Amino acid sequence: LTLSRDRQWGITTGLGWGYRSFRLGNSYAFRQIDGVTGIVPGVPDEEVYTKSRLRYFYFRIPLSIEWQTRLNGKGPLFFAVGPEAEIRHGFRSKAKVNGSKKTIDKGLNGRPLGINLLAQAGYADLGVYMRYSTYGLFEKNKGPELYPFSFGVCWYW
């Protein structure tokens, strides 16, 4: 949606679906004990966790204000920033336990809704992004205080 006559300012939105995966090392895994999610070690000589991870699926709906221009008739060069709603589902703690793949726990008091701050910049088909979750990943007082942060390179096509 264009906001200015010179077509340099606008509002952009979209819809994304995917999953996030957080890996733990040193025989630790996410587990829910007495209604509280924690990062706990495996029990020596009983359970050895390897390749442990927390995974969840999401829908994301960004709403950004964007500025863009063309450089020498090429481009565009652009910058965008704004909030992004995130709907989370399917929280699972998985690991290799004593060499076999296993789902350790489900649910894990994951917060089903979150608001991220999203910033993007790029030129032509390449760009970079940063995303920061303003709400903790777990419900208040029911898990560790984790605020996911990510950055990366994008290919826009």
Q: How far is Cα 40 from Cα 27, in angstroms, rounded to an integer?
A: 8
Q: Please write the tens of the pLDDT for every residue from 118-153.
A: 999 999 999 999 999 999 999 999 999 999 999 999
Span 96-110, average pLDDT:
91
HSE toward the beta carbon, residue 23, CA cutoff 13 A: 5
Q: For the chain, give percent helix, strand, coil, nearest 5.
A: 0, 70, 30
Q: Across all residues in the chain, what is the average pLDDT?
A: 93
Q: Please write the tens of the pLDDT for every residue from 60-69.
A: 999 999 999 9
Span 55-79, average pLDDT:
94
Instruction: Give the pLDDT band of residue 30 (cuts 50, 70, 90).
Output: very high
pLDDT at 73 over 80: yes
pLDDT recorded at residue 26: 84
pLDDT at 113 over 90: yes
pLDDT at 48 over 80: yes
Give the end-to-end CA distance of the chain in Å, rounded to a whole number. 19
3-state secondary structure at position 145: coil
Instruction: Give the pLDDT band of residue 72 (cuts 50, 70, 90).
Output: confident
* 135: β partners: none
